[in-house]
Structure 1
């Protein structure tokens, strides 16, 4: 599973701040919008058929689907409740946007080879999953297989200037952009609440 079984999921809107909590932890916040949009716009430079892992608040999903270049965009979400919260805010979705249910670490093996131009990756994962070297060594070749030549894999932004070891061995070409960010005072998942964030784009050559 991508995160703990049947966690409590809630959307907290208070004092102008919006936070999606999964299992008692901050999974995503609305201040991320500009970084999500920048990531989505970068993804859309590389083709027209895209795949996203993790719906969250749907900021990147709607941005990708709304890009004039996008022909199809599929989002894989693990939890019913996350999609329900999203649809309650966005009852009418673009025709080129589809939302599927499933566990990425199983579904990735079912993706057709060379079927997508880009994948945006932002699921809610427990720390033990992030640290599972064997899991990533098995999973990332499947991501590369699903990408068309020249296609890209873009994980969620980092607030540390370091390449993520989970993805690095599987790509030879990496594009990095730096963007300023300002998080909420109570944000727990960034290194500081302001500074530079780094979008990493791994390209299949």
Structure 2
């Protein structure tokens, strides 16, 4: 999903978080903006399935509705799956909807840009990346230049990094300079008529998988 909402590491006040279910649509709202919607399920599952082809220990940034988290944790190949979530309210909504979780799934609380520096080197086979971040964070070239090498560091050789799908056929500049091999899958999608964070409400979505050599 193409987020333009969410916190920065310097943001002091926690945003309002709510789960909105209306007219057959399900939306996780953070700070008054659409952070995730239930129509994304098939794309999140496809991303999760691709991740699970590459090992058994996985890390995910951003819990959201938990669509990918449960898919990864329930995959027979998965030994462990850790999800990092910044907001307690998001975790509470997820646990209320899913009171019984797979034993392979654990949820941590914290800020990604701090936590990535603390994770051990070569500790995960794959990382799925789908946090809600402010647009200014996405545009911060120096921040990503410092951060993505840390992502590469925590991946095992042959491990993969999969960010959330894009509805623009462009490689994500934040990551592309740090990986030599990239796999892209094209999937059709149909969003809600009310969806605000995609380039159009139907068409092609692109899942990008970055490989650590």
State whether TM-score is above 0.5: yes
Q: Distance in 2 between matches of 1:174 and 1:113?
A: 21
Q: TM-score, normalised by structure 2?
A: 0.95
Find the counterpart in structure 1 of residue 3 from structure 2: none
Counterpart secondary structure, 1:56 = coil
- Out of 84, 87, 93, the residue aligned to residue 95 of structure 2 is 87
Aligned equivalents of 1:154, 1:111: Cα separation in 2: 18
Note if 1:73 corresponds to 2:81: yes
| Alignment gaps of 5+ in structure 1 | none
- Cα deviation, 1:36-61, whole Å, max 9, x if unaligned, reads 00000000000000000000000000
After TM superposition, the structure 1 = structure 2 runs for residues 100-115 of structure 1, keeping only pairs within 5 Å, are 100-115=108-123
Q: How far does residue 115 in structure 1 lie from its aligned partner after superposition?
A: 0.3
**1:187 lines up with 2:189 in the alignment:** no
TM-score by structure 1 length? 0.99
- 1: distance between equivalents of 2:96 and 2:25? 18
How far apart are residue 15 of structure 1 and its match? Answer: 1.1
**1:55 maps to which of 59, 63, 85:** 63
Moved over 3 A (4+): 1-5
SS at match of 2:173: coil
Q: CA RMSD in A?
A: 0.8
Which of 124, 138, 143 is residue 130 of structure 1 equivalent to?
Answer: 138
The answer for the alignment partner of 1:36 in structure 2 is 44
Q: Structure 2: where are the runs of 5+ without partners?
A: 1-6
Deviation at 1:2?
Answer: 4.1
How many pairs were matched up? 205
2:35 to 11, 27, 30: 27
Deviation readout 1:82-127 (Å, 9 max, x if unpaired):
0000000000100000000000000000010000000000000000
Q: Is residue 27–residue 56 contact of structure 1 (8 Å, CA) maintained in 2?
A: yes
Aligned to 1:200: 208
2:16 alignment partner in structure 1 = 8
User: What secondary structure, in the 3-state scheme, does the structure 1 residue paired with 2:127 have?
Assistant: strand
| Structure 1 residue matching 2:102: 3-state secondary structure | coil
Equivalents in 1 of 2:119, 2:208: separation in Å?
A: 23
Distance 2:107 2:50 in 1: 21
Shift of 1:186: 0.5
